Amino acid sequence: MCHTLTVTLPVDHSVLPDRRVRAGWTGSGGADATLPAHANRWLSAKTGLTARGTPVAPDSALAVAESGLPAPARAVLSAIVGAEHVLVEREDRLGRAGGLSYLDLLGRRGAGRPTVPDAVVCPGNRAEVQRVVEACAEHDVAVVPFGGGTSVVGGVAALRGGKAAVVVLDLARLDRLVSVDPVSRLAVFEAGVVAPEAERLLAAHGLTLGHFPQSYERATLGGFAATRSSGQASAGYGRFEDMVEGVRLATPRGEWRLGVSPASAAGPDLRHLVVGSEGAFGVITEVTLRVRPAPAWDRYEGFVLDGFAAGAAAVRTLAQGGALGTVTRLSDPRETEVALALADGWRPAALRAYLRARGVVEPCLLVVGWEGATRAEMLSRRRATRRALGPAVRLGVGPGNAWRAGRFAGPRQRDALLDAGMCVETLETATYWAGLDRLRAAVRGALLGSLTAPGRKPIVACHISHAYETGASLYFTVLVPRDAEDPVGQWQAAKQAACAAIAGLGTITHHHATGVDHAPYLPEEIGALGVDVLAAIKDRLDPRGVLNPGKLIAAPPPAPGPRPAR
């Protein structure tokens, strides 16, 4: 079960840590995920939820074809990693069948078809990964690199791409901290290290990476690099790509090693061809990361601004004035309302009354967290933010600490909402400040238009969690009663409408990556020439096209449209 991923596990490199993605975050479809009692009532009133939940289908109820891995390929892979690390049992293959998007989770609840690989291959070190990749190219076997399996865009869908078979290359056994250079503030990790383990290993040196996406508990460093991930503390520590100083990539044409100095004028920075390559150019086996001293002081506080436009303007002022907190996160009125309704332990009625008394009409919750090596540093950053925020209503540490305590609970809540019969999914984008309102309105309108139906009222909530001098990300959460007849079609249509609304106004993805789902929209963003350049690079590194077919580059470049059949 996935809760065995805790950092207290003894490290035994001969055994595969169990990273199987089953029904959801918890691996049990919600057994340790519950909604507070009042949440179901609130959802019924607001969305029309009446449906009974769709229970998690037992693995035995899912149609899974026999492994089609040809015997010669299996023999070669077994010779490289050991037969015990080539898994062909149904349960092991199902456990790596796709990631954690809403559609992936539905697939494991019996709606839709999970993409099940022919085998799961678990190399134990960098050299074995290299040999596995070369052997797969030789035997015409597609390879899907698999870190934590938390992709929400079809990034780990086991697509054959016309090859003889498809294997998932699970990086779980590449779980070592290779070296730390405290003078240069660099740490070298194997790619399969999960984020909490990386933090535990760095803490022993008084260091932190500072990368805390909501998928923190399960995702890996290699996965972060492969997807250009962005953590909740991006304002303080940067996006993951800012942390990558060097990489090693196993390609069918040999190992590619990049990164020798903090900066260079030796041509384009090729590290950025690897960061964000989503397993389509090679398998990242090692990353050299910039690390920082672990903060000794922190403080999280809540503020309320009146209306999203005022809130966004306040965040822009912080970003352009160098006064962002380490964490800076603004919820729109709808998300603020949902947070108050679904959270446990809040007193929403009292808070609403207080805000009304302060003249706030459309409360937007802003959470800001400051960290610092010294108390004085932390407090000076806090002073700068508070000064720049001006008239915001200050709520003190209560909401800040509540957000912090629940910052990784979202995935569990999602499992519980699925159990209750809801369609619940997120999507994200980013644009420049001048176009932010327009983008938010366009995506909201598209989602509401697609999902509103007789008896079903969607909730579309939004927040800014990554702000830059020139713009910000928008992160949407959608809640609507699931269409019992066609739950897959319900979400596919909504997602397609949202993507079409984004095209031309913002990026198709700020941090979830391209995967299968966004690949059709890439040509609109980077142009046909851009797709051609990516395809040429792939062709050079992976001439037989075995690496993660269908992700990043849809070949041939498709017209914008629905998600391709898997």
Ligand X SMILES: Cc1cc2nc3c(=O)[nH]c(=O)nc-3n(C[C@H](O)[C@H](O)[C@H](O)COP(=O)(O)OP(=O)(O)OC[C@H]3O[C@@H](n4cnc5c(N)ncnc54)[C@H](O)[C@@H]3O)c2cc1C
49 or 516, CB closer to ligand X? 516
- Please pick, from the candidates 29, 112, 114, 149, the single residue that binds ligand X as defined by CB under 6 A: 149
- Please pick, from the candidates 329, 511, 538, 563, the single residue that binds ligand X as defined by CB under 6 A: 511
**Nearest in space to 189 (alpha carbons), one of 290, 293, 294, 289:** 289
236 or 363, CB closer to ligand X? 236
Bridge partners, 477 (sequence order): 426, 461
At residue 392, φ and ψ (nearest 5 deg) are -60, 145
Tokens 């198709």 sit on residue: 508
Contact between 145 and ligand X per CB under 6 A: yes
99 or 523, CB closer to ligand X? 99
Amino acid occupying residue 560: P
Which secondary-structure segment (H or E) carries 475?
strand 471-481
Q: How far apart are CA 566 and CA 554, in angstroms?
A: 12
150 or 336, CB closer to ligand X? 150
Q: Which of residues 82-141 bind ligand X (CB under 6 A)?
A: 99-100
- Please pick, from the candidates 419, 551, 553, 563, the single residue that binds ligand X as defined by CB under 6 A: 551
306 or 408, CB closer to ligand X? 408
Q: How far is the CB of 411 from ligand X (least distance, A)?
A: 4
Contact between 235 and ligand X per CB under 6 A: no
User: What DSSP assignment string belongs to 4-31?
Assistant: GG-TTS---TTS-------SSSSSSSST
Ramachandran region, residue 154 (left: φ > 0; alpha: ψ -120 to 50; beta: rest): left
Q: Are 165 and 73 contacting, i.e. CB atoms less than 8 angstroms apart?
A: yes
30 or 279, CB closer to ligand X? 279
Q: How far is the CB of 212 from ligand X (least distance, A)?
A: 8
**Nearest in space to 158 (alpha carbons), one of 167, 170, 171, 149:** 167
- Please pick, from the candidates 98, 114, 213, 471, the single residue that binds ligand X as defined by CB under 6 A: 213
400 C-beta neighbours (distance < 10 Å), count: 24
- Please pick, from the candidates 70, 110, 411, 562, the single residue that binds ligand X as defined by CB under 6 A: 411
Contact between 226 and ligand X per CB under 6 A: yes
- Please pick, from the candidates 128, 278, 286, 425, the single residue that binds ligand X as defined by CB under 6 A: 278
Contact between 491 and ligand X per CB under 6 A: no
219 or 360, CB closer to ligand X? 219
Q: How far is the CB of 344 from ligand X (least distance, A)?
A: 19
Q: Are 553 and 535 contacting, i.e. CB atoms less than 8 angstroms apart?
A: yes
Contact between 39 and ligand X per CB under 6 A: no
156 or 166, CB closer to ligand X? 156
Q: Are 474 and 436 contacting, i.e. CB atoms less than 8 angstroms apart?
A: yes
- Please pick, from the candidates 223, 252, 295, 549, the single residue that binds ligand X as defined by CB under 6 A: 223
Residue nearest to ligand X (CB): 223
Q: How far is the CB of 283 from ligand X (least distance, A)?
A: 4
Task: Looking at 141-293, list the stretches that DSSP marks H as alpha helix, in order from N- to C-terminal side.
Answer: 195-203, 221-227, 234-237, 240-243, 271-274
Looking at 215-223, 259-267, 296-304, 343-351, which segment touches ligand X (CB under 6 A)? 215-223
Q: How far apart are CA 442 and CA 123, in angstroms?
A: 45
Q: Which of residues 151-190 bind ligand X (CB under 6 A)?
A: 151-152, 155-156, 171
Q: Which of residues 48-87 bind ligand X (CB under 6 A)?
A: none
Total residues contacting ligand X by CB under 6 A comes to 39
Q: How many angstroms separate the Cα of 124 from the Cα of each of 129, 247, 331?
A: 8, 18, 43
Q: Are 289 and 191 contacting, i.e. CB atoms less than 8 angstroms apart?
A: no
Contact between 431 and ligand X per CB under 6 A: no
Contact between 473 and ligand X per CB under 6 A: no
Amino acid occupying residue 46: K
Q: How far apart are CA 547 and CA 226, in angstroms?
A: 13
Q: Are 315 and 406 contacting, i.e. CB atoms less than 8 angstroms apart?
A: no
189 C-beta neighbours (distance < 10 Å), count: 26
Looking at 80-88, 343-351, 387-395, 509-517, which segment touches ligand X (CB under 6 A)? 509-517
Q: How far is the CB of 361 from ligand X (least distance, A)?
A: 30
Task: Looking at 15-111, list the stretches that DSSP marks H as alpha helix, in order from N- to C-terminal side.
Answer: 37-47, 71-81, 90-95, 102-107
Q: Going residue by residue from 279 to 298, which x/- string records binding to ligand X, judged by CB under 6 A?
A: x---xx--------------
Looking at 106-114, 224-232, 477-485, 494-502, which segment touches ligand X (CB under 6 A)? 224-232
Contact between 26 and ligand X per CB under 6 A: no
Under 8 Å CB-to-CB from 105, ≥6 apart: which residues?
23, 24, 415, 418
Q: How far apart are CA 473 and CA 494, in angstroms?
A: 20
Q: How far is the CB of 98 from ligand X (least distance, A)?
A: 10
Q: Are 51 and 419 contacting, i.e. CB atoms less than 8 angstroms apart?
A: no
Looking at 218-226, 299-307, 452-460, 538-546, which segment touches ligand X (CB under 6 A)? 218-226
Q: How far is the CB of 440 from ligand X (least distance, A)?
A: 19
Q: How far apart are CA 429 and CA 443, in angstroms?
A: 10
Tokens of 101: 């998007």
Contact between 462 and ligand X per CB under 6 A: no
382 or 511, CB closer to ligand X? 511
Residues that bind ligand X in the complex, under the rule CB under 6 A: 99-100, 144-152, 155-156, 171, 191, 213-215, 219-220, 222-224, 226-227, 229-230, 278-279, 283-284, 410-411, 511-513, 515, 548, 551
